[in-house]
Chain A
Amino acid sequence: MTATTATATTRVIREHDRPLWQRLLLTREMAIIALLIVVIVVAMTTVKGFAQPITLNYLLLDVAPILLIALPMALIMVTGEIDLSVGSMVGLASVVTGVLTQAGAPFEVAALAALAVGVVGGAVNGFLVTVVGLPSLAVTIGTLALFRGLAVGLLGTTAVTDFPEMWTALAKAKIAGTTIPYITVPFLILLVVFVVLLHFTPFGRGIYAIGLSKDAARFSGVHVERTKFILFVLAGVVAAFAGIFFTLRFGSARGDNATGLELQVIAAVVLGGVSVFGGRGQLHGVVAAVLLIGVLSSALRLANVTSDVINIITGGLLVASVVAASLLAWAQRLRAKAGPPLRSAAASTP
């Protein structure tokens, strides 16, 4: 009989269940970024006309409103809420800009008024969700109709198309020497602000906490209502800004501008890894997802693929990504049930 005391079985508990490289590269966000790179390369080589300077310009101009709004939308969805009214807010801001410009106000004033409308709209959403306590899905379906209704009501189906040359040119102007449009600058600034907000401030950590467990967050001292309210106001303002850009870019303020934009934003945000249940999501994934959809649309349009096929692909991508995430989670649950592996320090044999 061998003494068994000398070599006791030690149980090694690893800090993480997977090696570092897996944790870094096998994330949802990296998958989207990888897909984006693949699509860009394929498009550049196979689609005639894609690999030209002007492509980047049109792509960014097309995608800018979605890029802008996806940032606050991602934050809202991380807290487990949703805002379906952003598309209508873009339309309303566009109409306010148009109506005031038509009435003779200088463009700067009209734009500021539109931003103010964005603040008010976001505040209405925020109030109904945080103070009255209504579910955000229902509230924002209501404000989607309300804002859109106000936009169409103010302008009918006429479009205001007379905007100062200076401003419409600015919206499409390129940064000197490149074909990158100026709108990229405000977007990058906003991106930095949101990244800092989300990852380097307590406010941002509070957002994740709320998404994971509202009550736990509240007991930990996070101001749940105030956080959500601020996020809705942010969404309203950014949507209004996107509305002003949209108006200038197309030179047309119309009541039904940007109809359906909210669905495109949500599709991109969910594709980018933000969970609809809340508590999960990173901004780089969201940005990559928006660009992915944009590049796909641009390349397919150049290849004369009709926009309906593009829609099918967007819808299919969305469903596939969510189903894949769900399957992964299920697989992880199975693995977790099996428990951490036991490793004996000594292969002792009696």
Chain B
Amino acid sequence: MKFARKRVTAFAAVAVAAALVLTGCADTGTGSGGDGGGAEGGSDNLAITFLPKNLGNPYFDTSSKGGKTAVEELGGTFAEVGPAEATPDAQVSYINTATQQGVGALVVSANDPKAICDALNEARDAGVKVVTFDSDTNPDCRDLFINQADSEGIAKVQVDLIADQIGGAGEIAVLSASANATNQNAWIALMEEYLASDYPDITLVETVYGDDDDQTSFDKTAALLQTHPNLKGIISPTTVGIAAAARYLSTSDYKGTVALTGLGTPNQMREYVEDGTVTAFALWNPEELGYLSAYAAAALIQGDITGAEGDTFEAGELGEYTVGADGTVLLGDPFEFNAENIGDFDF
């Protein structure tokens, strides 16, 4: 009886395995090649999927809004997917799904320069165009990188702001996002160089990582202030970090004595500028960034450009853009927000 039962279940198991294998071996023509368009010529599969570092992040909510506007102007289909936590391995699953779905292009802000490369290249082999924005990967796994501003410019504006606010000397710390984020590490490295060359009296005592998570950033700010009693300033080059740090500072004893600056969105920072916790901070327009990225992706899909240096394409209301070295497209310059102009913006 025991063996009979096992035999039946064994047959059933074989049946299941066969079903799976048949799925695997069946070629219904929607596999590689797909309708994502080959490298030669263009296609009109304008299904563009945005994959930010994580969801629930107001910065990326804004950039996706811009992307959605652009895709709808172009008559395509917009989708936004992403993990809850800003980790590299979480993004791989979404890239795989996009490959399976045969989308026209994937617009990614990478959590790590190398970890998602294999998945991205697999997508490109299947005909999906890959555009990175905000945070790049290694250049050989993507077709284009839309950079919001020149990295040196971003680093310089934040260091200048903090130096101005603490009087050119003292201890500062950096509250970053996740430890592997390409853009964060690039900016922090440039900040350190700039500090060494132009502000020798300012010491960067510690860099902590808030992982673009609100509660973690909040707690890390508290820890920073506890551990370094002589801290005079904090730079947070991430919108989640600066918002959390501002919130902690505004209810603590250090409000007004410890300066805070970095990259933040006007809507999140408005009340802290108005109550004096923050004097000035910088950013660009994430909505324009998303808008431009979507247009770039569409241009790639339709075969108008290939990502080579010197290619030009139209980006709707933003006008014409040219591809620079290493497949990079620059949006513009960082913009400084302060008490005078913060009422003028809504994002």
Is chain A's interface secondary structure helix, strand, loop, or mixed overall? helix
Determine, out of B8-16, B165-173, B230-238, B310-318, the stretch whose residues face the partner at the interface.
Answer: B8-16
B16, A37: Cβ atoms under 8 Å? Answer: yes
Supposing A44-B23, A256-B87 touch, asked if A51 and B9 sit within 8 A by C-beta, the answer is no
User: How far apart sit A162 and B118, CA to CA, in the bound complex (Å)?
Assistant: 12
From residue B8, how far is it (CB to closest CB) to chain A in Å? 5
Q: Is B305 an interface residue (CB 8 A)?
A: no
Which listed residue, A57, A159, A288, touches B16 by the CB 8 Å rule? Answer: A288
Interface size on B, residues (CB 8 A): 47
A179, B24: Cβ atoms under 8 Å? Answer: yes
Q: Is B135 an interface residue (CB 8 A)?
A: no
From residue A54, how far is it (CB to closest CB) to chain B in Å? 6
B115, A250: Cβ atoms under 8 Å? Answer: yes
Nearest chain B residue, comparing its CB with the CB of A157: B179
User: How far apart sit A29 and B251, CA to CA, in the bound complex (Å)?
Assistant: 57
A53, B178: Cβ atoms under 8 Å? Answer: no
Q: Is A24 an interface residue (CB 8 A)?
A: yes
From residue A82, how far is it (CB to closest CB) to chain B in Å? 26
Q: Which A residues are in CB contact (< 8 Å) with B93?
A: 62, 301
Which listed residue, B12, B13, B118, B180, touches A172 by the CB 8 Å rule? Answer: B118
Chain A 147-201 residues near chain B, CB threshold 8 A = 156-159, 161-162, 168, 172, 178-180
Which listed residue, A179, A250, A288, touches B92 by the CB 8 Å rule? Answer: A250
Nearest chain B residue, comparing its CB with the CB of A285: B9
Q: Which B residues are in CB contact (< 8 Å) with A54?
A: 31-32, 99-100, 126
Supposing A33-B9, A157-B179, A158-B180 touch, asked if A51 and B23 sit within 8 A by C-beta, the answer is yes
Q: Is B28 an interface residue (CB 8 A)?
A: yes
From residue A333, how far is it (CB to closest CB) to chain B in Å? 23
Supposing A33-B9, A40-B19, A53-B27 touch, asked if A157 and B178 sit within 8 A by C-beta, the answer is yes
Supposing A159-B112, A254-B87 touch, asked if A52 and B9 sit within 8 A by C-beta, the answer is no
Which listed residue, A37, A53, A254, touches B31 by the CB 8 Å rule? Answer: A53
Chain A 217-233 residues near chain B, CB threshold 8 A = none
Interface size on A, residues (CB 8 A): 52
From residue A155, how far is it (CB to closest CB) to chain B in Å? 9
Nearest chain A residue, comparing its CB with the CB of B24: A56
A161, B114: Cβ atoms under 8 Å? Answer: yes
Q: Which B residues are in CB contact (< 8 Å) with A284?
A: 9, 13
Q: Is B79 an interface residue (CB 8 A)?
A: yes
Q: Is A48 an interface residue (CB 8 A)?
A: yes
Which listed residue, B1, B27, B81, B180, touches A159 by the CB 8 Å rule? Answer: B180
Which listed residue, A44, A49, A156, touches B30 by the CB 8 Å rule? Answer: A49
Q: Which B residues are in CB contact (< 8 Å) with A250?
A: 88-89, 92, 115
Q: Which B residues are in CB contact (< 8 Å) with A288?
A: 13, 16
Q: Which A residues are in CB contact (< 8 Å) with B30?
A: 49, 51-52
8 closest Cβ contacts across the A-B interface?
A56-B24, A250-B89, A252-B115, A158-B179, A161-B114, A157-B179, A161-B115, A251-B115
A-B contact pairs, 12 of them (CB 8 A): A44-B23, A54-B100, A156-B209, A158-B179, A159-B112, A161-B115, A162-B114, A168-B118, A284-B13, A287-B13, A291-B16, A291-B20
Binding site for A on B (CB under 8 A): 1, 4-5, 8-9, 12-13, 15-16, 19-21, 23-28, 30-32, 79, 81, 87-89, 92-93, 96-97, 99-102, 112-118, 126, 178-180, 209, 211
